[in-house]
Amino acid sequence: MVQAHQSLQIRINSLRDTLRTGQVEMANWRGGTLAVSAVPGSGKSYGISVAAAIAIVQRIHQRAIPLQSQAPPELLLVTFTRSAALHLKRQIRRHLAELQQPITGFTVQTLHGMALGIAAQHPLQSGLNLEQLTLVSPYRSHRLIQTVIDRWIQAHPQTFQDLIEQGGWTGEEAERLRRQSVLRTDILPALATLVVREAKSSGLSPADLMALSTQGRENSAILATAAALYENYQSELLAQRCIDYEDMILGALRSLQDPSVREQWQRRIFAVFEDEAQDSSPLQAKLVESLAATPQDPQTLNLIRVGDPNQAINSTFTPANPALFRDFCHHQTLQGKFAPLHHAGRSSLAIIRYVNRYMDWALQQSPATTDPPFIRQHIQPVPPEDPQPQANPLPIGVGIEQYHPLDIFQTAEGIAQRTLALIHDQPDLTFAVLVRENRQAQFLAEVLSQPAIYGLKTDVTSANLQILDAGLQARLTTVPQDLLTLLKFIARPHSSMHLNAVLRLLSDRQIIAPLAIDQHSAYPEQFLYPMAEEDLPETRSARSLCVKLLRSRWELPLYQLLSFLGLALQYEPEELATADKLVQHLLRLNQGKNSLSQWIQSLEELLRTERFDGVELDPDQQDFCRDRQITIMTMHKAKGLDWDVVFLPFLHESLLFGPLMPLAQARFLGEGSLPEVARQQLRAAVQGQPIPNAAAAWDQAQQLKTAEDYRLLYVAMTRPRRLLWLSACDQAPHRWSHYSWQRQDPLVRQRPCRFLNEISPL
Ligand SMILES: Nc1ncnc2c1ncn2[C@@H]1O[C@H](COP(=O)(O)OP(=O)(O)OP(=O)(O)O)[C@@H](O)[C@H]1O
């Protein structure tokens, strides 16, 4: 027994020896609170997984006599995304195996997953019976939001009229109609979604928000409107038997207010380790703290929070509030429970130096009056005796390469050429291209996969390199449109318009070979049922597929038809899962009225009014980092990952550090964007500060955006191990969201980001 214990201790010590200074503090944690603020690549996730394995094992061995009737308490680890949770779980399993211990004693959850679990287990206390409720994530054009707005307009005709008549109102009827429409379809929905989410995730009820706006405070008129919208929103959710993500967290918190439920959970969990803590919202932070409290004393927390304030990149479009983690670090520092991790072994020295210079440059750009984008925490290379194998690897070349191609196609060519040259000498290098917008990823994926069509001389696929477009999710939203196109054709095959659309879809997806679509679709009967089979082989095979589609209508029940159509479109697994999700959605929507025409009508309605979120199969971080692959993804998605070579193309000032663009049609409402202004005012009110006027609030929103842009690029620049490739081409789309490369839309001159000229790469 003693011997077994000793050998376990030896194994623990040797695992602990693989840690660096700040990480050791995590592994030595025995209870209470600890804040870990760490630079990119310093091993936050690695440290947390080793510390978790050690804490689990020690907990098991501390409890010499197990409590009968109760499951032993577990360590709860929370992180932000499902893929990060999966990665963390794997790492902990690996370390427990190294310690020769059973793989139990912990759970890894996302914050939402954890909240859902708690709320679902206690429907009485949470007030959420999840079997009867639908989880929604309402966006601006969601039907629910439109109902909220319409009800508000009906109830507040005078306020609506006042908004219409703002700024240079001349009383013209056409102008009144225009303003009405902008308010109804753009401004008020944006105000409702942005401010409601912010208020809700700060723990404010509609009544709280109303109280904040009416206590004789200046500049709060728009908050009163937001409060009324919030109230409508809540009653609409109730009426439609829906909940949103914030409701899940609120439901979990309500459950934990019940002393017996709280005690049950606190006994189940002996401590909480939170990764990516800079991304938590106030409600999420509260939930984590409730679970980390000891049953005996709610003030005593067993909690490690790990994060990097310099990688906070979600605060402009989610209610994440990085100030919470900064405050936590500050408090822990005062109590001597703060462990900074300054040393990082991921990147070569040249990259580290460049990134530190970039941080200094960004700090210089920010006016002294504003919240700086970074805490000045330079990355330092690890000392020579560091345990990480190949820490701070040698750079490829000088480690930083900068290019100025002519246009976006030459950029793609440059990426392809450099990749081939590198892979020729070192076949197992890993590559990623990180971009600001999904549309850029789609462009590069398409152009690199079909170089001949776009005039590229270099074909990376010829060297057996895969191209992985991680932004596929964004395009899963085309699934409803694809299926609608097929259903319309099946319902009315004699319509040349429907046949034309189907042939285009099949040809775009490269399921049929190119053929004279317009000519064939002009006479559908002739194409589908020719008197004599004298056509070319590609026409014959396209016809045979179309006839098969038509037959499926008679051979399959409606609910199987969509899955079959998905297979006919050669959908990827995520797309097929999305088609299945769509079937469930349509079945629910059309209870009892399942006919082809009804489904077509519902799909049309869905496309007009709602965004349909695709199903992302459990993403696996390893899939993104394989060799013989070029992974293309957004900078946001790249957080937490690394590759040998990272390409950062399209570094244009307007795209990366450009100002927030208020809607041109909404100028009559004054400077800036009303929803952003309201959100800043709300943040000030929640923090007990005076509510800024519209101009000051807009200014703050701008600064917040620029600061987050600086951090986003910092996250991207800290992903490579050995080569950071940067480029800004001369000619690029004016706006990527409107740009079509298939149509060969014109490009315009774009200015490179200033830091490219102002920071020396050497
Ligand atoms: N003590 C260590 N021993 C061995 N390898 C380590 C150690 N610490 C970190 N690493 C390795 O360093 C790399 C970066 O670590 P990790 O992903 O945990 O960093 P991170 O701080 O979470 O990064 P980021 O914040 O940039 O996402 C990983 O490959 C990890 O395995």
The pair of structure tokens assigned to 214 is 């009416």
Binding residue ranges = 38-45
What is the chain's mean pLDDT, rounded? Answer: 88
Report CA(36)–ligand 1 centroid distance (Å): 14
User: What is the per-residue pLDDT across 630-642, written as a single tens digit (0 to 9) for each?
Assistant: 999 999 999 999 9
Please name the residue ranges forming H helices in 335-478. Answer: 349-365, 408-425, 438-449, 472-475
CB of residue 22 inside a 6 A radius of ligand 1: no
Ligand 1 mean position, distance from CA 346 (Å): 7
Distance from Cα 623 to the centre of ligand 1, integer Å: 18
Residue 112 confidence (pLDDT):
84
Mutate which of 21, 305, 313, 388 for ligand 1 pocket (most atoms within 8 A of beta carbon): 388
Write down the pLDDT at residue 614: 59
Residue 61 has pLDDT above 80, yes or no: no
> What does the alpha-carbon distance between residue 53 and residue 214 come to, in Å, rounded to a whole number?
51
Closest atom, ligand 1, to C-alpha of 45: 18
What's the residue count for the chain? Answer: 762
DSSP string, 13-70: HHHHTTS-HHHHHHHT--SSEEEEEE-TTS-HHHHHHHHHHHHHHHHHHH-SSPPTTS
Alpha-carbon gap, residue 371 to 680, rounded angstroms: 14
Of 348, 362, 343, 323, which is closest to residue 714 (Cα–Cα)?
Answer: 362
Record the tokens describing residue 378, joined without a space: 């330079």
pLDDT of residue 664 exceeding 90:
no
pLDDT of residue 423: 95
| Model confidence at 417: pLDDT above 90 | yes
Give 641 Cα–ligand 1 centroid separation in angstroms.
10
How much is the average pLDDT of 34-44?
A: 96
Of 181-190, 453-462, 592-601, where does the model show the most confidence? 453-462
Segment 263-304, tens digit of pLDDT: 999 999 999 999 999 999 889 999 999 999 998 888 899 999
Q: Is 134 helix (H, G, I), strand (E, B) or coil?
A: strand
CA distance 550 to 554: 8
Q: How confident is the model at residue 77 (pLDDT cuts 50, 70, 90)?
A: very high
Containing 726, the helix (H) or strand (E) segment is strand 720-727
Substitution candidate for ligand 1 out of 36, 45, 342, 343 with most atoms within 8 A of CB:
45
Q: Which of 246, 209, 258, 203 is nearest to 230 (CA)?
A: 209
Q: Is the CB of 388 under 6 A from ligand 1?
A: yes
Q: Would you state the structure tokens that stand for residue 48, as one six-digit string?
A: 């947390």
pLDDT for residue 399 = 97
Pocket test for ligand 1, best of 346, 379, 637 (most atoms within 8 A of CB): 346
Closest CA to 750 of 727, 726, 734: 734
- Nearest Cα residue to atom 11 of ligand 1: 43
Return the HEC string of 295-357: CCCCCCECEEEEECHHHCCCCCCCCCCHHHHHHHHHHHHHCCCEEEECEECCCCHHHHHHHHH
Long-range contacts of 597-601 (CB under 8 A, 24+ apart): 597/491, 599/487, 599/558, 600/484, 600/487, 600/488, 600/491
pLDDT bin (cut points 50, 70, 90) of residue 662 is: confident
Q: What is the pLDDT of residues 507-536, one digit of tens each?
A: 877 778 778 888 888 889 988 988 876 778
- Average pLDDT of the residues in 222-242: 92
Predicted local confidence at residue 615, as pLDDT: 57
Distance, in Å, from the CA atom of 689 to the CA atom of 703, rounded to the nearest integer, reads 18
d(CA 663, CA 659): 12
Q: Please, which residues have CB within 8 angstroms of residue 242's CB and are 6 or more apart in sequence?
A: 133, 134, 135, 136, 144
Alpha carbon separation from 377 to 22, 23, 279, 347, 598 (Å, rounded): 14, 17, 18, 16, 59
Q: Tell whether ligand 1 has an atom less than 6 A from the beta carbon of residue 640.
A: yes
Which range among 80-94, 270-284, 393-407, 489-503 has the greatest average pLDDT? 393-407
CA of 345, closest atom in ligand 1: 12
Please determine, for residue 599, whether its predicted confidence score (pLDDT) is greater than 70: yes
Task: Judge whether 111 and 81 are in contact, CB under 8 Å.
Answer: no
Amino acid (one-letter) located at 4? A
Higher per-residue pLDDT: 1 or 628 = 628
How far apart are the C-alpha atoms of 337 and 674, rounded to whole Å? 42
120 or 368, which is more confident? 120
- Measure 639 CA to ligand 1 centroid, in angstroms: 13
> How much is the pLDDT for 610?
55
pLDDT tier for residue 616 given thresholds of 50, 70 and 90:
low
* DSSP letter string, 518-583: HHHHTSHHHHHS-SS--S-HHHHHHHHHHHHHHHHHHHS-HHHHHHHHHHHTT--HHHHHHHHHHH
| Tens-digit pLDDT profile for residues 243-271 | 888 998 999 999 999 999 999 999 999 99
Give the distance (Å) from ligand 1 centre to CA of residue 651.
27
- Compute CA distances 172 → 165, 186, 188, 249, 536, whole Å: 10, 21, 22, 47, 61
Confidence of residue 402 (pLDDT cuts 50, 70, 90): very high
What integer pLDDT is reported at residue 592 of this predicted model? 67
pLDDT of res. 217: 66
More confident of the two residues 704 and 651: 651
pLDDT at 63 (0 to 100): 63
User: 640 C-alpha vs ligand 1 centroid, how far in Å?
Assistant: 9
